[in-house]
Amino acid sequence: RVFRQAVDASRSVAQQIAAMIRGRAAEGRYCVLGLATGSSPTGVYDELVRMHREEGLSFQNVVTFNLDEYYPMQPAELQSYVRFMNEHLFDHVDIKPENVHVPDGTLAEGDVADYCRRYEAQIAEAGGIDLQLLGIGRTGHVGFNEPGSGKNSRTRMITLDRVTRRDAASDFFGEDNVPRRAITMGVGTILDARQVVLMAWGEGKASIVARAVEGEISTIVAASFLQEHPNAQFVLDQAAAEQL
């Protein structure tokens, strides 16, 4: 779906999410959302917060699982995805704290593998992800599934690509300060979501979007696996859709 501007696209995605939350609430069921960080989803979060304030959209029946977190990372640090999610969404809506899950960047290294298995189990116990929001990195990563990530990969520790670390350099006041690793849901975890919505804005994303949508399906571009998903949408502004 191509929109003239990111703001219109974000509004449309937020409406889709709100309809799902309300539909589930009417049935007395939880709505399980997979959430992303980065600049791409912020317009959606802004709109959801507005709907909470002005239209009474409740998050009492919402369970969330975030895609990824840098490792190591303390929640209070400026670049932490816990902090990002609190600032952009969770602090402004009525979600129950126990229903929020963001990968833990504070663990001892030896505990990470077990933790990742538990993260997967928690997603399964919640009934699986109803809707997964995604951005896309210039390497074609979704979450932090860098080139080489297999279709069946699950939540795990990964090493960040050089391009990704360079793109994150300004957030960390220099490339040398960007963590070398991260914890991320796997490609397989993402493909298990019943619905996937990937958002990309601006000409800087146009070439990787074209490779993901029309290129060969391969581990070189993790987002290309979405071509095999039965219910995946790419939501783009005109600039990001330019090379399609």
Nearest-approach distance from CB 138 to ligand GLP, in angstroms: 8
Nearer to ligand GLP, 72 or 143 (CB): 143
Measured CA to CA, the distance from residue 163 to residue 8 in angstroms comes to 29
Residue number of the CB atom closest to ligand GLP: 135
- Write out the two tokens for 167: 């793109």
Nearest-approach distance from CB 71 to ligand GLP, in angstroms: 12
Query: Does 37 help bind ligand GLP (rule: CB under 6 A)?
Result: yes
Name the catalytic one among 69, 120, 146, 216.
Answer: 146
Nearest-approach distance from CB 201 to ligand GLP, in angstroms: 8
CB 157 within 8 A of CB 195: no
Query: Does 74 help bind ligand GLP (rule: CB under 6 A)?
Result: no
Query: Does 84 help bind ligand GLP (rule: CB under 6 A)?
Result: no
DSSP per-residue letters across 187-203: HHHHHTSSEEEEEE-SG
Task: Give the binding range for ligand GLP (CB under 6 A) out of 12-20, 107-115, 135-143, 146-154.
Answer: 135-143
∠ CA 30-34-40, nearest 5°, is 135
Task: State the helix-helix crossing angle for 42-55 and 81-88, rounded to 10 degrees.
Answer: 40
Chosen residue from 103, 105, 140, 143 binding ligand GLP by CB under 6 A:
143
Please state whether beta strands 181-184 and 156-159 pair in parallel, antiparallel, or not at all (unpaired). antiparallel
DSSP 8-class letter at 148: T
Dihedral sign, CA of 23, 65, 50, 136? negative
Measured CA to CA, the distance from residue 79 to residue 95 in angstroms comes to 22
Q: Measuring CA to CA, how many Å separate 179 from each of 23, 82, 105, 219?
A: 40, 16, 11, 23
Each residue 52-71 as x (binds ligand GLP by CB under 6 A) or -, in order, gives ---------------xx---
* Contact set for ligand GLP, span 102-121 (CB under 6 A): none
Task: Give the binding range for ligand GLP (CB under 6 A) out of 7-15, 134-142, 213-221, 235-243.
Answer: 134-142
Query: Does 36 help bind ligand GLP (rule: CB under 6 A)?
Result: yes
> Which residue in 190, 168, 170, 194 sits closest to 181, CA to CA?
168
> Which residue in 73, 235, 226, 43 sits closest to 141, CA to CA?
226
Each residue 223-242 as x (binds ligand GLP by CB under 6 A) or -, in order, gives --------------------
Chosen residue from 9, 31, 40, 131 binding ligand GLP by CB under 6 A:
40
Task: Decide if 146 is catalytic.
Answer: yes
- Binding-site ranges for ligand GLP (CB under 6 A): 36-40, 67-68, 135-137, 143-144, 164
Positions annotated as catalytic residues are 146
